[in-house]
């Protein structure tokens, strides 16, 4: 059955249909929440909040096929709300404190030394760009979201998303070149 049919069932009050939609993308939701929250417990809290919101507002969804984009937007907004309440910084800045099992879900590598090296490189590089650029780059390249979905999640135009990614990547490229030239 396709997404639109499951959403129509969920709109009619079928809790199993909504659960099916959520469970079919649970890993994607978890990785997205984890990338914002920085730890498994807070990521699960954000997902819980998303599920409650989806249940309460599924009737407001106009385009059934946009369910996953809509639900990811709800999840990101929930993460931002929780972070704001807790006064935490967003995104990858605190990854050095994250447990190795959790990191392995975000950075796929079998070699623990390589994973640590990649983690440190990404942390260092991403600190060179502003928060908006970092968020756009993370959503695009870590979560493989399209420009429209990123625009919906961040509540900016597609042009702004593309600009943030482009300028952020230019900054990273220039910074990386500088590091290579110094060696």
Q: Do 63 and 8 touch, CB atoms closer than 8 A?
A: no
Same domain, 132 and 76: no
Does 106 map to a domain?
no
Length reported for the chain: 183
Residue ending a domain, choose from 34, 60, 94: 94
The CA distance from 21 to 84, in Å, is: 28
Is position 100 within any domain? Answer: no
**What confidence score (pLDDT) does residue 85 get?**
80
Least confidently predicted of 6-15, 34-43, 95-104? 95-104
Contact 37, 83 (CB under 8 A): yes
Shared domain for 85 and 21, answered yes or no, is: yes
CATH code of the domain in which 66 resides: 1.10.1740.10
**pLDDT tens across 25-64, in order?**
999 999 999 988 888 999 999 999 999 999 999 999 999 9
Query: How many structural domains are present in the chain?
Result: 2
User: pLDDT tens digits for 127-152?
Assistant: 788 989 988 988 888 888 899 999 99
In the chain, what are the helix, strand and coil shares in percent, each to the nearest 5? Answer: 80, 0, 20
Range of the domain at 21: 1-94
């Amino acid at each position: 059955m396709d997404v639109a049919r499951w959403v129509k069932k969920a709109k009619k009050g079928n809790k199993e249909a909504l659960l099916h939609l959520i469970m079919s993308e649970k890993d994607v939701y978890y990785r997205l929440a984890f990338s914002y929250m920085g730890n498994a417990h807070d990521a699960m809290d954000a997902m819980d909040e998303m599920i409650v919101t989806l249940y309460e507002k599924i009737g407001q969804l106009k385009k059934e096929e946009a369910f996953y984009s809509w639900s990811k937007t709800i999840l990101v907004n929930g993460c931002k709300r929780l972070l704001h309440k807790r006064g935490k910084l967003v995104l990858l800045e605190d990854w050095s404190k994250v447990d190795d099992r959790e990191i392995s879900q975000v950075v796929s590598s079998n070699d623990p030394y390589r994973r640590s090296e990649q983690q440190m490189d990404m942390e260092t590089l991403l600190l060179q760009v502003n928060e908006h650029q970092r968020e756009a780059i993370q959503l695009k390249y870590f979560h493989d979201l399209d420009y429209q979905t990123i625009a919906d999640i961040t509540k900016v135009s597609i042009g702004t998303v593309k600009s943030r990614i482009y300028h952020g990547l230019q900054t990273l490229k220039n910074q990386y070149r500088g590091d290579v030239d110094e060696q």
